[in-house]
Amino acid sequence: MLPESLSKAVAGQPLKIAALVSVGQHPLSRRERQADQDSRAVELALSLSPQLPSLIHVGSAQNNALRAYLGMGLNSLTVLNADPDADAVPALADYLRDQPLDIVLTGVRAECGEGSGLLPYAVASQLGWPMVPRIVSVVSIADGHADVWQALPRGQRRALRVPLPFVASVDPAADPARQSAFGPAQRGNIDFRPCAAEPDQARADWEQHPAKPRPKRLAVAKGGTAAERMKAATAKPQGQGGQVMTEGTDREKAEAILARLVAEGVVR
């Protein structure tokens, strides 16, 4: 189902959308899977245009986790074949430059590997397109511009207008991906293309280790007398209890609540 404004905008010429997908990693079992954020990008791409989006992956064609994206209702997936330690950015930029595309969508960060989230910025920079981070939806497309909503902290949204074509990363707050069906996933076609991806020189001397647990920051009371420091260290963090209003009419109590809400800035 397309939003009405979008259907009108794309009636003459359907939007051409590409989604960059990666192989994800289950956070506990660490099995390969379809990446959550990339799946949301595919879902957003499917909802935008009647024409099926093209899926692009840089890596090895033999990967079974990639087929899960095809199970979302797509016919084919393009794999630019490259070594695991190759630099994906130039290969992707070279490939995308030749495609007639309007929007390129991807997740914010990859689930395995470096996961820096720099790839969409680097690709957009090489293509000379604008990059919009953390979008949740495309509201309308008119006059070669797209109105998108960007996710902000605390569930807030911001409206942005950006000229086509552009690159966007899709926030985890966007609509969740539809379920992947096994049959279509097996029937889908993986289009394997060789590409001349250079090894990533910058990362050659980096070392990868399992994540070390980070130390928790303790609140250490400094200064004051020994007695004060002892008190600060042993005092319970809560359990003081706040102000309790037992007396007064209901209206006074409601006024106290409202005054507190206004002071906190949640009621304007």
Partner 1 sequence: MSLRIRRNPRLERIRRNRLHPEYTALMAATVPAIGPTGLRRINPHQTGFVMVQGRKRLNRLNPGGVGFATSSQPGQAQAKEKPLHSVTDPRGYVAVVMDLPGGRLSSHDRDVLGLAQQLAQAKDDPHAVLAIALGDVRETDLGGAGADRVIQLSQLHTEPLTGYCPELKLSILTEIEKHYQPAYWLFPDSIDGGADLGSRWAVQQHERAAVQAWQVNKENTVCRGGSQLTDWHRPTPRVLLLAPECAAPVEEYRYEALPLELTPPEPISATIEDRGPVSVDPSQIALSEAEFILAAGNGVRNWDQFHQVATVLGATEGASRVAVDDGYMPRHRQVGASGTWVSARVYLAVGISGAIQHLQGIGQCETVIAVNLDAGCDMVRRADLTVIADSEAVFAELLNLMTERQTGVSHQSDTADEGEARHVA
User: Taking CB under 8 A as the rule, which mask of x and - marks residues 188-217 in contact with partner 1?
Assistant: --------------xx-xxxxxxxx-x--x
Q: How far is the CB of 192 from partner 1 (least distance, A)?
A: 25
CA angle 168, 174, 190 (to 5 degrees): 65
CA distances from residue 87 to 65, 178, 181 in whole angstroms, order as listed: 21, 30, 31
The sign of the CA dihedral 76, 80, 82, 86 is negative
Closer to partner 1 by CB, 234 or 238: give it.
Answer: 238
Closer to partner 1 by CB, 11 or 211: give it.
Answer: 211
Q: How far is the CB of 191 from partner 1 (least distance, A)?
A: 26
According to CB under 8 A, which residues from 164 to 183 bind partner 1? 173
Q: How far is the CB of 196 from partner 1 (least distance, A)?
A: 21
Residue 234 touching partner 1 (CB under 8 A):
no
Q: Is 266 exposed, middle or buried (0-12, 13-18, 19+ CB in 10 A)?
A: exposed
Residue 235 touching partner 1 (CB under 8 A):
no
Closer to partner 1 by CB, 112 or 235: give it.
Answer: 112
Q: How far apart are CA 141 and CA 145, in angstroms?
A: 6
Closer to partner 1 by CB, 74 or 96: give it.
Answer: 96
Q: Output the six-digit token pair for 36.
A: 């959550």
In the chain the first and final C-alpha atoms are separated, in Å, by 37
CA angle 197, 101, 193 (to 5 degrees): 30
Closer to partner 1 by CB, 98 or 212: give it.
Answer: 212
DSSP letter, residue 112: S
According to CB under 8 A, which residues from 124 to 143 bind partner 1? 125, 130-134
The one among 38, 43, 102, 111 contacting partner 1 by CB under 8 A: 111
The one among 74, 109, 170, 188 contacting partner 1 by CB under 8 A: 109
Closer to partner 1 by CB, 183 or 264: give it.
Answer: 264
The one among 30, 97, 187, 193 contacting partner 1 by CB under 8 A: 30
60 three-class SS: coil
Spatial CA neighbour of 72 closest among 178, 165, 168, 199: 178
Residue 184 touching partner 1 (CB under 8 A):
no
